[in-house]
Chains A and B, each alone.
Chain A
């Protein structure tokens, strides 16, 4: 069910909410003041590891005719893509490493190894998703405009196909992401500025061309007679990354316990309430260091949503403090093992393919909301750490 007021939902007083906000601000200040060599060493180590993996994978695949080499090369290349997209690209584009003042690792010019242009990602993700997290009609990440993820979203017979769409979305995830910032719904309703659309399509086309040329033409061609073997390895590596990042990302906001909000929540929302919405709308998963590395520290989704631009290697330590804060104020802190979190997500996807009356979940009070997605200049603005678009609406 979707909530229209985070304060009402948590039963906290205004003073308590402001106190929570102050504590979280304090955590941010502490981390900002202590960023230093160890953090830089972390990210440069991950980048070095990732580039070595990618190079080793590509080289191994020159022997793609030999099945063990095919397998090893594919695994290395797929892992490199996962690391690049999640721990390096996603976090760098959030500005987590901007403080290093290093043009080679900076949000303003990072381009990632996937089909979506970085510039569009920074808008659709850093701004739209992180500012309007889980607000129905604002956050396009709720079901990616393809899946019905809330009982408050209207059911249509189209939703009967959700199990299929879900599988396709997972398999083609990078392509879904590539088109994400176009805002298909706005295009469908004829609200999209055609000039912007053209520019975005050209940007996507260029990026797709470069990515496809590399993975599906150049490297296969370089291996000569084993073109098909190398091609299949590269396709598999991309699929591997697609399924994995899809799963990690869907575990961020859709397991049981993570709640959605209606547009009313955005009205007069304070910074502290924004923090609360991030905590209530996000879900963590548990795991070891390796799992967290391979998921870009998104197992600390709650911490990431509170502090999207703090270095990802700090989220584990931040989570101890956030958990303690949630305990003291009796705020839910959603977490669990990865299989359980994804299991719940999958169940929700299946369940919501049917109309509400067919499913058992306690029916939520239907809330009225505007159906149309708002344009950027109609949206409220608040948070500077989410990147340049946050200021766009106010000016």
Chain B
């Protein structure tokens, strides 16, 4: 990711240093944000510009990010969004449906209101244009390499269309969609987001095939039906995004055929990687409490149990609200199994466990 402007220009960096000295212990941002809430890099933030209804229960939020945002996300990545509801910030992550850079000064995410999801419902139905939200920088590896593979297959269920939409729009911007098949399931036509845009794309590009599946009428697409809708699926690199059940079924299907490396999957739930960390004694702040933590308890949970006031956001490794610097020792990322041990390195406490004794700077 390119550095924000302020990091690239040495004059601006100097100015910022003087500003910091003049506003210590705060930052110049804290005063500038009084003038315009977007003029702050302390926390990434954005203003909701538009809420565009997509279906009866889905809407696209067009957000103008504030200072510190770079518009160079890779299509298919997601961002964290923190919304204040009744005084508290709640975090979720959503795939960007916008194309990098070209849409000017905004980014968009498309959100489907889930019956049990009070935050998604708030985003679709309760968010007024003008609302200031917090953002977390784009991340995720559900992306298409550049140049894209010759043959692609997108397996999509429901709101899983959003990252794929970003990918397709980006390819469309370059006027070149390679041989691509989109298999998109939704309950019915009204529930199918972006259906018109996709149909137009299919008309414009002979290389792009759009298979619509309405599960109310035709039932859920099962892996064994894949041969019917896309006979050469095994020759294609596949991106799959949708409900967990669907992803599990297709992942297993690909594994059965020894094609596990041909399918890219996007999940929005914390899936712990195999291998357990050793656990150890964790010290919260130099001179702070020390507790014994096993290799399955996250540092955030352990800290909370020890009575430490710890910041948290999404609790699934997306928003980076819970980041703290590691003073010493090693920790393991539950998702990837990677170990981190650079002193001073920021670690995400919500998805990290102790790999031996460690100390956090709080």
Contact = CB atoms under 8 A, between A and B. Distances in A.
Tell me, yes or no, whether A binds B: yes
A40 B87 contact: yes
B357 to A, nearest CB: 13
Interface stretch (A152-160, A285-293, A384-392): A384-392
Given A108-B362, A196-B287, A103 B22 contact: no
A102 B86 CA distance: 13
Interface stretch (A31-39, A135-143, A183-191): A31-39
Interface residues of A, number: 48
Interface stretch (A208-216, A322-330, A340-348): A208-216
Contacts of A36: 86-88
B306 A391 contact: yes
Interface string B263-305: 0000000000000000000001111111110000000000100
Nearest to A43: B87
A100 B21 CA distance: 28
A386 B288 CA distance: 13
A106 B288 contact: no
B42 interface: yes
Interface in B199-246: none
A1 interface: no
Given A52-B34, A111-B25, A106 B309 contact: yes
A313 B247 CA distance: 49
B307 A391 contact: yes
A395 interface: yes
A392 B290 contact: yes
Nearest to B308: A388
Contact of B309 (A112, A210, A387): A387
B86 A37 contact: yes
Interface string B53-87: 00000000000000000000000000000001011
A224 to B, nearest CB: 15
Given A37-B87, A103-B321, A388-B306, A210 B291 contact: no
Given A388-B288, A389-B288, A98 B309 contact: yes
Q: What is the predominant secondary structure among interface residues of chain A facing chain B?
A: helix
Contacts of A390: 289, 307
Contacts of A52: 34
A17 to B, nearest CB: 24
A38 B309 CA distance: 22
Nearest to B320: A103
Given A36-B87, A51-B34, A210-B24, A107 B309 contact: yes
Contact of B84 (A38, A40, A210): A40
Interface string A179-205: 000000000000000001001000000
A95 interface: yes
B312 interface: yes
Contacts of A51: 26, 30-31, 34
A360 interface: no
A101 B312 contact: yes
B88 A391 contact: no
A214 B22 contact: yes
Contacts of B292: 395
Interface of B: 21-26, 30-31, 34, 42-43, 84, 86-90, 284-292, 303, 306-313, 321, 324, 362
The 7 closest A-B pairs by CB, nearest first: A384-B307, A40-B87, A391-B289, A111-B25, A388-B308, A392-B289, A36-B86
